[in-house]
Amino acid sequence: MTTSTMTPDKDALARVGKSVRKRLDADPKAYKVPTDKAEIYAIGEFLSASECKKLMMMIDVVAQPSTLYEGTYKDGFRTSYSGNFDSHDQFVQGISRRMDDALGLPGKLGETIQGQRYLPGQQFKPHHDYFYPTEEYWERERKNGGQRSWTAMLFLNHVEAGGATNFTNVGINIEPKPGVLLAWNNATVEGIPNEDTLHAGTPVDQGVKYVITRWYRTRKWG
């Protein structure tokens, strides 16, 4: 078996990784987390307070118990509530475009923005955002835009206690702060899914946590 069949979309992951890296490195507002294990960037004040508020209200409308390919709500793996936004909504389209612009990626690569809400005790245990090509779901996702490259996540509010995004192997905790965009490359520079991007939405202890996420594929999504 060749490397490219063992690692689907390897060349595309390397190419997309490189172009986003170049874009973020040139952005004076983007802060690069100092680690060699993964490419993780943060941009502060990406959204205004009123945009965050509007998105939180929209999450309350679409939120249902979160689903997963592996593990279920019942297993306690991902106990948040989440839902996809209406991709035809003009406000959602504007936010999506700004995320695409920050990363320099064409919007067609991005999945519909997903909103997520965690109440006290709720969490998303350590996981990778990339797909495991050995799993049954892969055949569908392969045709659906292929492997996930970058993740862009926006924190919408301050959480009284808990709820940090923890990059388990890197050993960093990112505390929720309203309007902060967090973006990371799920692959290595070579285009191989990066195991060190393992991350968790740690349990909320007090308050509520709201985030939105947009995952980018290597090819046109959908």
Ligand X SMILES: O=C(O)CCC(=O)C(=O)O
CA 6 to chain centre: 24
Q: Which is nearer to Fe ion, 54 or 125 (CB)?
A: 125
Least distance CB 181 / ligand X (angstroms): 13
Least distance CB 42 / ligand X (angstroms): 13
d(C-alpha 216, C-alpha 204), whole Å: 26
- Which secondary structure element, helix H or strand E, spans residue 61, and what is its range? helix 49-62
Side-chain half-sphere CA neighbours of 103 within 13 A: 31
Cα–Cα distances in angstroms (integers) from residue 83 to residues 93, 108, 114, in the given order:
16, 20, 6
What residue ranges bind ligand X (CB under 6 A)? 116, 124, 129, 165, 199, 201, 211, 213
32: nearest Cα among 158, 176, 172: 172
Q: Which is nearer to ligand X, 22 or 79 (CB)?
A: 79
Q: Which is nearer to ligand X, 188 or 202 (CB)?
A: 202
Binding Fe ion by CB under 5 A: which of 46, 129, 130, 170? 129
Query: Which partner from the list Fe ion, ligand X, none does 109 bind, CB cut-off 5 to 8 Å by kind?
Result: none
**Contacting positions for Fe ion (CB under 5 A):** 129
